[in-house]
């Protein structure tokens, strides 16, 4: 770790402590933002439940905007080797096992389950759920045992196999090798009142296949969409109550 990193980390640590003292448990990365409007979560708004709907009919196979945006935004390690590359969001192609059926493309990411098995198995409680339902990892506590990776049915977690050298976004802390990481729903952006990077990129690309918002807010677009069209979570039979919904599968 360079001196710069160390100082940055220390500053961030102090800021996080300050943030925690002001609004216990509400935000982790709030320290990096100076508040915002719209989507900003505050103690009084802790009934917020962030969620996402993905419309597989709008998502095209070639488009990689969401995965690229995520990689840049969150400094997700990429080594060009499928064994070790980090993936906070990945595009998958589904082909029904019926002759001539149309295949679909959709992004897979952490489902921020209401009953997260990764959090249940974590021996040091490094994985936790924020008040707004986002499942996060405390990278300063994670021991790198990888039990959560075995327990997550969505394969949403990746391990830092090698020291990453790229660091595209200084707003998101650089991780050391040896810990597990995953999608945070861009908590640092939400706390600034901005949309997750993948959703913003999807909107910009014109596909508009992702809807993000507060599942508890009857006025939100996502609330109305779910009420009208009943999209489904992946493998809801497992009882994990995922907060990423899919329609058109």
Partner 1 sequence: MKNKIRFSTIKGNSREYVLLVLSLGFVSFCGFVAAWLRYTHGHYITNMTNAVPWGFPKIVAIYMIGLSAGSLVLSSLSGVFGITEFKIFARSAALLAALLLIGALMSIILDWGRPDRILVPFVHINPRSMFSLDAMFYTAYILTCFVYLWAMFKEKTELVKRLGVLAIFIAILVHSGTGAIFGFVGARELYHSPLLPPLFIASALSSGSAMMVVVMYLTFRWSRRPLDDALLIRLGSYMAAFLLVAGFFIFVENVTRAYFPANYEVQRFLLTSGNKYSQIFWVGMVGIGVVLPLGILFNPATRQNVGWILFASALVLAGVLAERYIIVIPAQVFPIDLFPGMKVSSPFMDGVVAKYSISVVEAFYGLGIFTFVFFLYALALKFFELLPEGAEK
Compute CA 103 distance to the chain's CA centroid, rounded to the nearest angstrom. 25
Cα-based angle 114, 233, 87 (whole degrees, multiple of 5) = 80
Residue in the structure block whose two tokens are 């998101």 = 172
CB atoms within 10 A of CB 54: 26
Residue 174 interacting with partner 1 (CB under 8 A)? no
In this chain, which stretch among 177-185, 190-198, 207-215, 216-224 interacts with partner 1, using CB under 8 A?
177-185
Q: Which two tokens stand for residue 113?
A: 């389950």
Contact 113, 151 (CB under 8 A): no
Residue 182 interacting with partner 1 (CB under 8 A)? no
Figure out which of the listed residues 16, 42, 114, 147 binds partner 1, where binding follows CB under 8 A.
147
Contacts of 158 (CB under 8 A, 6+ apart): 76, 77, 85, 86, 87, 88, 149, 180, 181, 182
Measured in degrees and rounded to the nearest 5, phi and psi for residue 66 equal -65, -45
Figure out which of the listed residues 69, 76, 135, 142 binds partner 1, where binding follows CB under 8 A.
142
Give the x-and-dash track for 98-127 against partner 1 (CB under 8 A).
----------x--------x--xxxxxxx-
Containing H/E element for 149? helix 147-151
Query: Binding residues for partner 1, how many (CB under 8 A)?
Result: 52
Interface with partner 1 in residues 190-229 (CB under 8 A): none
CB atoms within 10 A of CB 238: 14
Minimum Å gap between C-beta 40 and partner 1 is 29
By residue count, the chain amounts to: 249
Residue 6 interacting with partner 1 (CB under 8 A)? no
Minimum Å gap between C-beta 166 and partner 1 is 15
Minimum Å gap between C-beta 228 and partner 1 is 23
Figure out which of the listed residues 28, 59, 180, 222 binds partner 1, where binding follows CB under 8 A.
180
In this chain, which stretch among 34-42, 82-90, 129-137, 188-196 interacts with partner 1, using CB under 8 A?
82-90
Residue 179 interacting with partner 1 (CB under 8 A)? yes
Interface with partner 1 in residues 14-73 (CB under 8 A): none
Measured in degrees and rounded to the nearest 5, phi and psi for residue 224 equal -65, -40
Figure out which of the listed residues 215, 234, 241, 248 binds partner 1, where binding follows CB under 8 A.
234
Nearer to partner 1, 174 or 189 (CB): 174
């Amino acid at each position: 770790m360079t001196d710069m990193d160390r100082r940055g980390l220390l500053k961030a640590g102090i800021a996080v402590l300050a943030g925690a003292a002001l609004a216990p448990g509400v935000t982790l990365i709030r320290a990096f933002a100076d508040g915002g409007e719209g989507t900003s979560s505050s103690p009084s708004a802790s009934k917020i439940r962030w969620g996402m709907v993905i419309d597989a009919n709008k998502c095209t196979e070639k488009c990689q905007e969401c995965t690229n945006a995520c990689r840049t935004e969150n400094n997700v390690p990429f080594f060009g080797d499928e064994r070790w590359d980090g993936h906070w969001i990945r595009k998958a192609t589904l082909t029904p096992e019926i002759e001539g059926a149309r295949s679909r493309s959709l992004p897979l990411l952490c489902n921020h389950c209401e009953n997260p098995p990764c959090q249940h198995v974590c021996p040091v409680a490094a994985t936790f759920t924020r008040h707004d339902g986002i499942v996060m990892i405390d990278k300063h506590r994670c021991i790198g045992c990888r039990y959560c990776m075995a327990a997550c049915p969505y394969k949403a977690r990746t391990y830092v196999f090698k020291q990453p050298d790229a660091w595209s976004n200084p707003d998101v802390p650089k991780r050391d090798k040896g810990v597990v990481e995953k999608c945070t729903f861009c908590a640092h952006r939400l706390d600034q009142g901005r949309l997750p990077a993948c959703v913003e990129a999807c909107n910009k690309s014109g596909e508009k296949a992702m809807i993000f918002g507060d599942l508890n807010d009857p006025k939100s677009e996502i609330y109305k969409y779910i009420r009208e069209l009943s999209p489904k979570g992946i493998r809801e039979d497992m009882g994990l109550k995922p907060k990423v919904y899919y329609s058109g599968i």
